[in-house]
Structures are given as structure tokens and as C-alpha cells.
Amino acid sequence: MAPGKKSRRSKKESKKLKKRRNASSAAAAAAAAAPADPNTSDTDWWDVFWRKNSPSPGSAVPEDEAEGFKHYFRVSKETFAYICSLVREDLISRPPSGLINIEGRLLSVEKQVAIALRRLASGESQVSVGAAFGVGQSTVSQVTWRFIEALEERGRHHLKWPDVSRMDEIKARFEAFCGLPNCCGAIDATHIIMTLPAVQTSDDWCDPANNYSMLLQGIVDDELRFLDIVTGLPGGMIGSKLLKFSGFFKLCECGKRLNGNTKTLIEKCEAREYIVGGASYPLLPWLITPYESDGSGLTDSISDFNAMHESARSLAVKAFSQLKGSWRILSKVMWRPDKQKLPSIILVCCLLHNIILDSGDKLHSDVALPGHHDFGYVEQGCKQVDPLGSALRENLAKNLQCRRESVPSK
């Protein structure tokens, strides 16, 4: 029976040890959650970072410190402070473990946000980003994910469908820009390329370019702001099917979206609210695509319409190039990402894109991708045509022609 008594004592000692460990972990968490002592917190993180990463001759980094800050983190210091205010409470109340850098100082909220933004903006490895900030790979991973969780929850108001007043402004600017009345936005989609573990590979995730990817569809306004997105679906899905899987499609089909006032055109025809999309989308009563040539060529009026349509649609193309150029983690091959987490990463990058616009920040002209945002992919045409969509497109083309003919020649 002696061995039995020894076993009971061991169990008691194990329980005590577990309690001490839990208490120690709780104390560490409480210490991390508590306001840091200015003498032990890395409040001077930017000065240290800038000295370490300041531009050298021939470097692409701007010599001006304010512009250098925007180069590394994509936002101005003022917008950076705003982003910190959004996530501060969450990062303090739910801190990652190991929030101490190699100098033995606590990571401030500002440095956590900077680490996360740099990881998303550069697309560099966690090791490279960690080296730039004096922290380990594990810390970069934890900090970035906690930031994503926090901004996904706290920043959602930066990505929403406009109210009536806001939409009227958007429609007026679209008409002034490309001559299309009652146009509410432009739609496009892009592939986010990733590498999947062999056990997760499937034909669904293998796209037409033989990459494993996840799709992102977005609708943008005239200022390149995302109004609606859908992601999380495999890259092997065609654009028209992706559209039909979106909540936006369901809302439009049941009359709960793009249901505002109609506009009377020149020949007393009416145009309902709609968005524009490329040839990979179906022609619907609320989604207008360009005319396709039947081989005999296009009339001048139809060619003019297609040109104006392309002007509007190109805004979505530009927005995606800006998004993937600003947040390079989306334009590089993501190494074995968690497919459950990747949609959150994509959403947060879209939120950051909108926050930049809402804050009035101006990005460097060379930030956008130099080529098409979906380089290597061929647009697949969609033959679906709804008669109501065809009638609306015809009315829009006639309206454009009448407006052109009514302008006195010089």
C-alpha cells in the first residue's frame, strides 16, 4: 500500500504546482495589463526604430522622418494614433504573452500596433519584422493576430454601405466623372495567393493559374473606398458564382440593396440604382457590364458607352492595386496560412485601406502595384444576360449619346 500513499502525495504536489503556475501566469497577465511604468516601457520605440532603419544613400526610404513613418507603416502619425485609440482597450485587456523585448522593456500599445502594421504593409517574414523591432518571431505572430482581432471588431464602421445622403453624393460624382447616372459603385475581384499544407490541398483551392488562392470581391465608390466585400471562398470559383455566394447579391435580389430613387434620363427613360462590373460578371438589372462585340464591330454610341463604363469599372481595379500594394502581405504568397484566419487578415487590410481614405492620408504614388492586381489571371467571360439589365444598359447608352449630341460643336 505504500506506493499508493506516495501516489496520492504526488497528485497533491502536482495540483499545488499547477496552482502556483496558474497564479504566476495570472500575475504576469495582470502586470502586462497594468499601465506600464514610463521608465520600463518602450515609449521611445519610434526613435529607436528610425535610428536603426533610417535611409541610407540610394534607399527608397524618404529622408523626411514624417514621410519615412508613412513609408514603413502606410499611415501618418496622426492616423496611426487614431488606429491605436481603436485597439488600445483590447490590446491592454487581452495582451499576448511574452510582451518584453530584448532590452527587458514592456511593449507599449504603440509598438504593438507598429509591429502589426509593418508585418501587414511589408509582407516580410515574422523573423525580419521582429529583427527590425528587437522582438522575436513568436511575439510578432502574437501581436499581429491580436491586432487583427481587435481592429476587426473595433474598426468595422469604416466599411459599410452608404446611407441615402452619402449615396447621393457618390452617384453625383460617378455621373460627373464618367457620365453614368445613378451609378453606385464598381465591382471587381482578386486572388490572394497562399501555400497550403499537402493535407489541405484540393482542386477547389487551385485556381485557373494553378495557384492555391482565396478570393476577395469588393465594391468601391468613386474615391476607391470599399463599400462591401466578401472573402473566404476558394480561388477556383468563377466570378459569377462568387457574386451569387455573397450577401450583397442576396440583398439586391430581394430588393434590400440598390433600391433607392430612380433617375429620369433624357428620353424619359428611367435608370434604377446599379453598379458596374467587367465581362466576368452577369448582366443583371442592378449590375451593368460592357457590350461585347459580335465580330462585326461596335457602333460609335456603344463604343462610347463601353469607354465610359471602363472609366467607372477601372476605379475598382485601381482600388485593388492600391490595397494589395499598400498591404503587401496580400500580394505575396502567404506561407501556409490558416484558412480560418485569412479572411480576417483580408478584412483588416480593407479596413486599413478605408481608414487611410477616411483620415485624408495620401499614399506615395509608388505604393500601388505596378501591374494589374491579378497579374497572371485571364478574365473569364459570363454569358448570363437578364432582359431588364439589357434594357437598362441600352437606356444608359442612349442617354450618353443624346447628351453628347446635345453639346454644341465648337
pLDDT given for residue 221 in this prediction: 98
One DSSP character per residue, 279-290 reads TTS-BBTTEE--
How many whole angstroms separate alpha carbon 237 and alpha carbon 215?
8
How many CB atoms are located within 10 Å of the residue 217 CB? 24
Q: Phi then psi for 110, rounded to 5 degrees?
A: -60, -45
Residue 184, H or E segment: strand 183-195
pLDDT of residue 26: 40
Question: How far is 105 from 302, CA to CA, in rounded Å?
Answer: 66
Task: Show me where the domains of the chain are located.
Answer: 31-154, 159-406
Contacts of 24 (CB under 8 A, 6+ apart): none
Distance of alpha carbon 185 from alpha carbon 171, whole angstroms: 8
> Residue 30: CA atoms inside 13 Å, Cβ hemisphere, count?
6
Q: Are 217 and 275 in contact (CB under 8 A)?
A: no
**Looking at beta carbons, which pairs linking 204-209 to residues 24 or more positions away fall under 8 Å?**
204/234, 204/236, 204/237, 205/234, 205/235, 205/236, 206/235, 206/236, 207/234, 207/235, 207/236, 207/377, 208/236, 208/377, 208/378, 208/380, 209/376, 209/377
Describe the crossing of helices 126-133 and 45-53 by its angle, rounded to 10 degrees: 110
Distance (Å, whole) CA 336 – CA 217: 22
| Cβ proximity of 180 and 172 under 8 Å | no
- Kindly list the averaged pLDDT for each block of 10 residues, start to end, along the chain of length 410: 42 47 41 42 84 84 91 96 97 71 76 97 95 93 95 97 97 95 97 75 79 94 97 91 96 96 88 96 97 75 93 96 96 80 96 97 82 87 94 94 72
What span, in angstroms and rounded, lies between the C-alpha atoms of 397 and 181? 11
- Give the β-pairing of 226-234 and 270-271: unpaired
The pLDDT value given to residue 118:
97
Cβ contact 292:393 at 8 Å = no
- The continuous run of DSSP H or E covering 191 comes out as strand 183-195
Cβ pair 83, 76 in contact under 8 A: no
| 167: nearest Cα among 185, 152, 153, 180 | 185
Q: Phi-psi region for residue 179, left (φ > 0), alpha (ψ -120 to 50) or beta?
A: left
Q: Give CA 359 to chain center in angstroms.
A: 16
pLDDT at 20: 42
Dihedral angle sign, alpha carbons of residues 229, 233, 236, 240: negative
Q: Please choose, from the candidates 278, 195, 191, the residue with its C-alpha nearest in 3D space to the C-alpha of residue 237.
A: 191
What is the reported pLDDT for 28? 41
Task: Name residue, grid cell 478570393.
Answer: 215
